[in-house]
Structures are given as structure tokens and as C-alpha cells.
């Protein structure tokens, strides 16, 4: 029994290390590679190195490295929450995992219907990756969600899913759907189809990036105003940024925590709605009934 408990704890430590070490690595990498700067410094993701490819050079950026670290962290969290779960004895973390599964499953069933019940793990992954990516800013790290390339990749995956389920009724029905409700609207429907992943990406990316920019501008402005108002104080007191105490933290609660979590929820909701609404369920069921009747008649 002691050996079993020891193995259980050892595996728990391994999963905790999977959650913590990637974030520690990102912080160390940030400290070692960040160049010193003065004043306002708003830049995109840093480029660590470039890989030569036959088409063009592939830059390995801060966004890609941070995204990989987030993936490992989320994977470790999932393993930790579900490790040792049984029907007889459940720990607090097991109840947390059960609560997450129940809430996401209810959200998927309510917004997508029974046909898409298996989408719950995918939606959970979107929520986890998006939320944790945005929350990296709390550690002073570059959030991958403020890079259009990362969020654009997620939006393209959603677009592929939308198109896949629209094709469930065949290519003819897919083409005919652009003429709904009247054929004259076909050009607008085509533009709307193309604009779907673009709008999803820019909505998520724009909100996260704007929050980061506003926070930096306000913090820098408060620092300058503080030095202007309190420069008469002697010694180090005249250089201390008194006005930076409190307000930047309040802004961080909104832009880094609330807004980041809200954008993750919105992206997941749009994913569910676009995929479910793009699927012609009635036509698909009628088509399946006809196929079944043909099979029965043939037999």
C-alpha cells in the first residue's frame, strides 16, 4: 500500500512539474533574451531563430514557444485533475474535473444539439488554451492570443470544421446553401463565409492586444505623471512611481483576467454556433433516411 501511495505521489509530482516547469522556462527565457529598453516599448513576438525551408525561412517566435508551453501546461493539468479518479473514492480535484466536464457538456448540448455531443473535449481545449494563453501576461510573458498568426490558426481549424459539416449533405447542397434564402444573396453569402474565420481571429486578437497596449500606456503615463508631481521630494522618493500603485493592478484584473477569460468564452461560443448552424440537420436526416430505405429495399 505504501509503495502504491508513493507511486501515486510521484506521478502527481510529475504532472505538477509538467504544469509549472514550462512556465518557469518561459520566464527564464524572457529574462535572458529581453533587451533593455526605456520608456514605452510595445513590440510583437520576439523571433528566437529562423529555420531555412524550401519555400521561405520559418521564424520560430515567442508566440510559438509560448503556445507550446501552454499546451504542455494544459495537458499536465488535465492529467493531474484526472489522476487516480474512481467511482468509489474521489478527491477534490476529481470533483473539479467532473464539474468542468458537466458544465462544458451542458454548454455544448444546449448550443449545438445532441448530434454534436462529442464536441465537448474540443470546446474544452479551446477554452483552456485561449484562457491560459491570455493569462500569461500576468507573469510578464507575451500572450500568444495577441498574435494574429496563432489565433488565425485556431480560426482556420474552426473554418475547416464548418465546411466539413456543411459538406455532410454533399457538394451540391453545399453550393445551393449560398443561394439561401434567395439566389441574389449568393455573393454576400460567399463573402460572409470567407469573413467568418477572419472576424473570429481579429475579434480575439484585437481585444487581447488592445488590452495589453492600454495597460502599458497607462502604466507609463502614471510613471511620468508621478515623477512630475513628486519630483520635489528628496532622494529616491522623488523617483518613486507613487501613482503606479493600485491603478495598474486594477486595470490588469480587467484586461488580463476578465477580458482574457471573456474572449476565450466568446471564441468557444462562436465556434459552437458557427459549426452547429452551418450543419443542415434536417436535410442530413432526410438524406440518411433515404439511404437506409434503399439499403432495406436492396436487401
Mean pLDDT per 10-residue interval, the chain, length 299 residues: 72 94 93 68 79 87 94 95 85 92 93 88 93 87 89 93 87 82 83 90 86 75 74 67 65 77 92 88 80 70
DSSP string covering 62-94, please? HHHHHHHHHHHHHHHHHHHHHTT--SS---HHH
- Report how far residue 111's alpha carbon sits from residue 125's, in angstroms, rounded to the nearest whole number: 17
Compute how many other C-beta atoms are within 10 angstroms of the C-beta atom of residue 104.
21
Looking at residue 181, what is its pLDDT? 76
**CA-based nearest residue to 161, from 270, 289, 78:** 270
Looking at residue 3, what is its pLDDT? 47
Compute how many other C-beta atoms are within 10 angstroms of the C-beta atom of residue 209.
19
**CA-based nearest residue to 29, from 51, 47, 52, 50:** 47
* Segments of 54-183 assigned E as strands: 58-61
Looking at residue 121, what is its pLDDT? 93
Looking at residue 240, what is its pLDDT? 65
Amino acid at each position: 500500500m505504501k509503495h502504491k501511495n508513493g507511486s501515486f505521489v510521484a506521478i502527481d509530482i510529475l504532472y505538477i512539474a509538467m504544469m509549472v516547469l514550462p512556465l518557469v522556462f518561459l520566464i527564464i527565457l524572457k529574462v535572458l533574451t529581453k533587451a533593455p529598453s526605456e520608456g514605452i516599448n510595445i513590440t510583437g513576438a520576439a523571433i528566437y531563430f529562423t529555420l531555412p525551408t524550401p519555400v521561405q525561412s520559418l521564424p520560430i517566435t515567442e508566440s510559438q514557444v509560448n503556445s507550446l508551453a501552454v499546451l504542455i501546461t494544459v495537458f499536465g493539468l488535465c492529467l493531474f485533475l484526472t489522476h487516480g479518479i474512481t467511482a468509489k473514492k474521489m478527491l477534490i480535484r476529481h470533483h473539479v474535473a467532473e464539474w468542468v466536464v458537466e458544465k462544458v457538456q451542458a454548454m455544448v448540448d444546449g448550443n449545438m444539439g445532441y448530434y454534436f455531443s462529442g464536441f465537448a473535449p474540443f470546446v474544452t481545449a479551446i477554452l483552456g488554451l485561449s484562457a491560459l494563453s491570455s493569462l500569461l501576461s500576468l507573469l510578464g510573458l507575451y500572450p500568444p492570443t495577441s498574435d494574429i498568426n496563432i489565433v488565425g490558426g485556431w480560426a482556420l481549424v474552426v473554418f475547416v470544421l464548418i465546411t466539413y459539416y456543411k459538406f455532410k449533405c454533399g457538394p451540391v447542397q453545399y453550393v445551393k446553401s449560398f443561394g439561401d434564402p434567395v439566389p441574389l444573396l449568393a455573393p454576400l453569402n460567399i463573402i460572409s463565409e470567407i469573413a467568418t474565420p477572419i472576424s473570429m481571429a481579429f475579434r480575439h486578437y484585437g481585444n487581447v492586444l488592445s488590452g495589453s497596449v492600454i495597460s502599458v500606456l497607462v502604466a507609463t503615463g502614471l510613471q511620468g505623471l508621478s515623477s512630475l508631481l513628486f519630483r520635489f521630494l528628496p532622494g529616491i522618493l522623488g523617483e518613486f512611481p507613487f501613482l503606479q500603485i493600485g491603478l495598474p493592478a486594477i486595470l490588469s484584473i480587467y484586461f488580463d483576467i476578465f477580458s482574457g477569460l471573456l474572449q476565450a468564452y466568446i471564441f468557444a461560443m462562436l465556434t459552437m454556433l458557427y459549426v452547429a448552424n452551418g450543419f443542415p440537420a434536417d436535410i442530413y436526416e432526410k438524406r440518411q433516411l433515404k439511404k437506409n430505405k434503399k439499403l432495406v429495399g436492396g436487401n
